[in-house]
C-alpha cells in the first residue's frame, strides 16, 4: 500500500550556515517508517515566487556547464561558496556515469539556485535548486531499488534537487527537470538521480518564468 507523506517546507532552502543538510526539527531521532512498496513524498509548498507553466515538449536533456581550468567555487561567476558539501553518486548522473563525486555549493544571495560541480579543474557543473517553495504540489514516488541504494526511510532523510537548464534562445525562461530529480540522503550525502514512478504527472522541461531577466 502506498502512503502519502507530507513534509512541510517554508522555501526548502538551507536553514543554517554550517550545513545544507539539517534534519527537520519535527523528526524524531531513530524513528523509522514501516516497509512499503513505494514512497510518495509530497512537498507542502507555499505560493511559488515565480509563475510556472509546463512545456508540452517532454524531451530529456541535461546540459552541464564546463568550468575553465583553474576556476574554483569561490569565483563570482560560479558562486562564492559559504557552504560546500561533497555528494557521493555511486551510479553517476544520467549521461555522466563516470561522475561519482560532486560538490554542492551555494551562496545565500543566490538561493534558490545552487551549483552541483566536480571538484577537479576543468570539470562539469550543473545549476540545481530545491523545489520546496518554488514548484507547487510537487511530489515524488521513489522505487524500492532507489530507496535501497540511498539508504533512506522517509522524507525527513532526504533533500531533493532539480537540475536547471538555460537554453540560449529562451531568454527569461528557466527549464527544470522534474522527472529525474537528484535525491540526497541528508545523513550520508549519498545521492542518486532517479526517474520517479509518477513521472507522467510532471515535465522534464518544466518552465520557470522569471520575467525575462533570466539568471
Is residue 35 reached through a cis peptide bond, with omega within 30 degrees of 0 on the bond before it?
no
* DSSP secondary structure code for residue 64 in this structure: P
Contact 20, 107 (CB under 8 A): no
Question: In this predicted structure, what is the pLDDT of residue 151?
Answer: 93
Answer yes or no: is 58 within a domain: no
Q: Write the secondary structure of 125-165 as one string of H (helix), E (strand) and C (coil).
A: EEEEECCCCCCCCCEEEECHHHHHHHCCCCHHHEEEEEEEE
CA 151 to chain centroid: 17
- The x, y and z cell numbers of residue 57, run together, are 515538449
- The x, y and z cell numbers of residue 120, run together, are 577537479
Answer yes or no: is 64 within a domain: no
- Domain with residue 15: its CATH number is 2.30.290.10
Answer yes or no: is 28 within a domain: no
Place of cell 524531451: 59
Answer yes or no: is 67 within a domain: no
> What stretches in the chain show pLDDT beneath 70?
1-83, 169-172, 209-215
How far is 67 from 41, CA to CA, in rounded Å?
A: 34
Range of the domain at 105: 3-22+34-51+85-209
Answer yes or no: is 96 within a domain: yes
Predicted confidence (pLDDT) per residue in 123-172, tens digit: 888 999 988 878 888 888 999 999 999 999 888 889 999 999 877 765 66
The total number of structural domains that make up the chain: 1
Answer yes or no: is 156 within a domain: yes
Question: In this predicted structure, what is the pLDDT of residue 88?
Answer: 94
CA 5 to chain centroid: 18
Looking only at the bridges linking them, the beta strands covering 173-176 and 158-165 are antiparallel
pTM over 0.85: no
Question: In this predicted structure, what is the pLDDT of residue 172?
Answer: 66
Answer yes or no: is 204 within a domain: yes
CA 122 to chain centroid: 23
Answer yes or no: is 95 within a domain: yes
Amino acid at each position: 500500500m502506498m502512503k502519502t507523506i507530507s513534509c512541510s517546507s517554508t522555501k526548502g532552502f538551507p536553514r543554517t550556515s554550517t550545513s545544507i543538510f539539517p534534519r527537520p526539527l519535527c523528526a524524531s531521532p531513530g524513528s523509522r517508517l514501516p516497509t512499503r512498496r513505494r514512497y510518495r513524498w509530497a512537498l507542502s509548498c507555499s505560493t511559488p515566487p515565480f509563475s510556472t507553466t509546463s512545456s508540452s515538449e517532454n524531451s530529456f536533456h541535461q546540459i552541464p556547464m564546463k568550468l575553465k581550468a583553474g576556476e574554483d567555487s569561490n569565483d563570482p561567476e560560479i558562486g562564492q561558496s559559504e557552504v560546500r558539501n561533497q555528494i557521493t553518486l555511486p551510479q553517476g548522473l544520467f549521461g555522466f556515469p563516470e561522475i561519482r563525486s560532486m560538490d554542492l555549493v551555494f551562496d545565500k544571495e543566490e538561493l534558490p539556485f545552487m551549483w552541483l560541480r566536480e571538484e577537479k579543474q576543468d570539470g562539469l557543473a550543473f545549476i540545481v535548486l530545491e523545489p520546496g517553495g518554488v514548484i507547487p504540489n510537487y511530489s515524488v514516488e521513489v522505487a524500492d531499488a532507489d530507496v535501497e541504494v540511498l539508504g533512506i526511510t522517509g522524507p525527513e532523510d532526504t533533500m531533493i534537487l532539480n537540475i536547471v537548464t538555460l537554453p540560449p534562445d529562451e531568454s527569461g525562461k528557466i527549464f527544470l527537470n522534474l522527472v529525474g530529480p537528484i535525491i540526497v540522503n541528508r545523513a550520508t550525502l549519498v545521492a542518486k538521480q532517479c526517474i520517479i514512478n509518477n513521472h507522467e504527472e510532471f515535465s522534464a522541461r518544466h518552465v520557470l518564468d522569471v520575467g525575462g531577466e533570466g539568471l
